[in-house]
Amino acid sequence: MSIPLDESPIARPRATEVEQHGIDTIPAEHRHSTPFDLFRIQFGGANTFATVILGTFPILLGLSLWQALAATVVGVLVGSLFLMPMGLFGPLTGTNNAVSSGAHFGVRGRVVGSFLSLLTAIAFYSISVWVSGDAVVGALIRLFGISDSDVLRGVVYAVLGALVIIVVVYGYVFMLLVNKVVVVGNTVMILLGVLAYSGKIDLSYNPGPDAYALGSFWPTFVLSALIVMGNPISFGAFLGDWTRYIPERTKPSSLMLATLAAQAATLVPFFFGVITATLVAGEADYIVALINASPLWYAVLLIGVAFLGGLSTGITSLYGTGLDFSSVFPRFSRVQASLFIGAFAFLFILVGRLAFDLIDSVNAFIGAIVICTTPWMVIMTLGYFVRRGHYSAADLQVFNLGLRGGPYWFDNGVNWRGMAAWIPAAIAGLLFANYPPLIEGPFRNAAGGVDISLPVAIGLAAVLYLAMLFLAPEPRYVFGPDGPRLVPAREGTPTEVVEDPNASSHRQIIRNRKAEAEAVEELTEGQSHA
């Protein structure tokens, strides 16, 4: 599968330059990325021990090896189909997906996307530091005979978490460099597992029907696929963080192909997790048990896999949330917001790892992400389709600049068509969810124990959103010169863009930040000329 490179002639900044852009519109002269970069950053962010851990769940839930592999393929494929359109917004709007969602939820209502971004970032940042830190600790115990303790784990978590935050502070180009290394390095080290565990793998592994976590095959299979599906879905709120640096002229097919290829490539770490989970089935701590079951030379390599992987997943998760948090709370710059979210997430790691069961926590978080994010993605995709991909980049920034009005102002900054579809869909999904023991909806047994929360959330979001577009047509000016596709529109005039009297301090902060960025850019250009 080849990915068109669409190489841009625009010079890319040095990785050691601190990124100056926040969620403001990226100008054409700074669009230095390609669809191949999108492939690398997605695959690098998922080619990690966090994904390996998700791959162990089908085995932990009682499936046989081949059933687990099938559930994994289904989860990755279905999740990828929902994810693929989410890379289309960044090149058109020049900003992240949360801000882009203002076209369908309103420039204030887009905080829904910000919330989902925050939830996903905390979950996957925590998972990456947890599992990577545990792998490093397990290797240290195996190699040097160090005694395990909460203090040791806390120190390792802190080192990994701090390194993630450092990379995030530098920004997109540094993050892209790290993921380039991870794509190659971790893939090679994971594939070497074939040699390390040769002769130990039992292709006929099957614990039998009594092992099914939910009592029978189909409920357990569906739950396993949904947990796996959480990995591609988790990128939904973040693709715009990276595609905003891709030129607007880039073909949509190239962007979607890059996403599909990246998610298909994640089957490498997923399958590693599935297969190795059969080697240590029944052990309380998968990571430590796997390291103890590994040849010494491979136990050393697993430290590298864990370290690079934790760094990669952590930065791809935390970077976007820092961007978005700084726009919702303008007193925070991108760097300050990243530091704040990183510190909060680290506290969550310590509490979650030491006070709760890791497996249950991961299970519940992934379930909540899938159920809440997928209907939001469905609404965004349908909105893109009926709008024919037409967006006004400048008008999406109204709220961020302390202004009000414009075509996406709708009802005081909220488009209730999107909100009226997402809120009931997310609630209904949670009511049908079955992610024991932390999320067990009252209707979880409506289909004989099979988790139908996702079909319910997706179907309800699609039906309600389309119904709203027909019952309360959007104004014609949001559809662009070619008009709407398949839905009606009403006549209207967009609200004039004016300064928001309640956001004077907001605007002053924006002006100061812009002046600082321009000064840094002038200094950088002067140094390069010198």
- Tens place of pLDDT per residue across the chain (530 aa): 445 444 445 656 665 566 666 678 899 988 989 999 999 989 988 888 778 888 999 999 999 999 999 999 999 999 999 999 999 999 999 999 999 999 999 999 999 988 888 888 777 777 778 778 888 888 888 888 888 888 888 888 888 888 887 777 777 777 777 777 777 888 888 889 889 998 889 999 999 999 999 889 999 999 899 889 988 998 888 899 889 999 999 999 999 999 999 999 999 999 999 999 999 988 877 888 888 889 989 988 877 777 777 777 777 777 767 667 766 676 676 677 777 777 777 777 777 666 666 666 666 777 888 899 999 999 999 999 999 999 999 999 998 888 899 999 999 999 999 999 999 999 999 999 887 777 888 998 888 778 889 899 999 999 999 999 999 999 999 998 999 999 999 999 999 999 877 765 555 555 555 555 554 455 445 544 44
H helices present in 280-407, as ranges: 286-293, 296-328, 334-355, 358-386
d(CA 56, CA 285): 12
H helices present in 13-107, as ranges: 35-46, 49-60, 65-83, 89-93, 97-100, 102-105
Across-strand partners of 406? 495
First to last CA, the chain: 44
Three-class SS state of 498? strand
Domain parsing of the chain, residue ranges: 28-525
Sign of the C-alpha dihedral computed for residues 98, 104, 108 and 111 taken in this order? negative
Say whether domain 28-525 belongs to CATH 1.10.4160.10: yes
d(CA 164, CA 156): 13
